[in-house]
Amino acid sequence: MIAAAGRRASRTRAAPTSFAVLLPLLAGPVGAFASEACDQCEDLCRLVDQYQQKEKGIELWKQYASSTPEADRIALPANVTEMISLENHVYGQFKAWPDTRKQNGELPCAVPANAPQSTPVETDLTTTSDSSCEIRYNGKKLEGPNLKDFEKAVGCKVMSDATIAHETEHQEICMRAHSDQEGLKTLDEPSFVAQNELQAWTEHRDVLRDAIRALAGRCGWEPTKRQKSSPVSVPSTKQAKDMQARGWKASKALKRRKP
């Protein structure tokens, strides 16, 4: 998310809750039920859920993005004229989605009763819209100890890497806009904002997808013919649940074997 210089857009009352915060809460506490590296079979289902969430976000942002032919774009309400009102509008659409997932049996994977618990934490990043185009966490530049704090808060290297890739895309767009006065004028224009988010969410999704495909291959994923034919397919919710269940069983067995 690009925030106006000197403030965090997701913390003003007019702005929606940051998507970076919203999405983990829909799937469960950030850092819960996953290894820090997120490279174990029991991590897979949660990563697939995050991937599905990014796919939904891409679908929503694409409706309004400048890269979508104008004839195919969804008309925005008259009161949606800049970044904050657009984010509120898309947030409202996204907020209704969990109910649909529940009805369709597509909710995040069940968590074993003895799984370790963790407290929800804020893990959103923002990119300033001033000429520094700085990526920040908790109001400070994302570097050094602050970067380590962010990664620790997320508790899953795959997810923190994907979020950083998301904001890096925002940063690059911001820097290009500041190199051109005409481009700078578009930073708050709805179709540009939607395009900006579309590109960032796509980058976020792609990082998750690469990690999921690598992990699934080690966790006994048996892709369908259709999945085999696509170089970008990922396990379905059911496949991920099955592999996660096997991962938890294997983890328990290993613990029982330890002296």
Question: Would you list the domain boundaries of the chain?
Answer: 2-257
Does the pLDDT of residue 212 top 90, yes or no?
yes
The pLDDT of residue 108 is 57
pLDDT of residue 252: 53
Average pLDDT over residues 162-169: 96
Position 137 pLDDT exceeds 90:
yes
Please give the pLDDT value at position 63: 97
What type of residue is 56?
Answer: K
pLDDT at residue 197, rounded to an integer? 95
Classify residue 107 by its DSSP letter.
P
Instruction: Give the list of residues 6+ apart from residue 130 with CB closer than 8 angstroms, or none.
Output: 5, 6
- Which is it for the CA torsion 179, 183, 186, 191, positive or negative? negative
Residues 97-106, mean pLDDT to the nearest whole number: 75
In the predicted model, is pLDDT for residue 35 greater than 80? no
CA distance linking residue 236 with residue 222, whole number of Å? 11
Dihedral pair phi/psi, residue 199, rounded to 5°: -65, -40
Question: 13 or 114: whose pLDDT is higher?
Answer: 114
Name the strand (E) or helix (H) holding 102.
helix 97-103
Evaluate whether 146 touches 21 at the Cβ level (below 8 Å). no
Residue 114, pLDDT above cutoff 60? no
Mean pLDDT value across the chain: 79
Q: How far is CA 56 from CA 23, 65, 189, 197, 241, in A?
A: 11, 15, 22, 12, 20
CA–CA separation, 198 and 216 (whole Å): 26
Q: Quick check: 59 pLDDT over 80?
A: yes
What is the Cα–Cα distance from 228 to 185, expressed in whole angstroms?
45
Calculate the alpha carbon distances from 35 to 30, 39, 242 in Å. Answer: 12, 7, 18
Answer yes or no: is pLDDT of 33 > 60.
no
- Give 1's pLDDT tier (boundaries 50, 70, 90): low
**Cβ–Cβ < 8 Å for 232, 202:** no
State the distance between the two ends of the chain, measured CA to CA, in whole angstroms. 48
Taking CA atoms, 94 is separated from 26, 54, 162, 203, in Å, by 11, 11, 20, 19
Find the range with the poorest average confidence among 7-11, 97-101, 207-211.
7-11
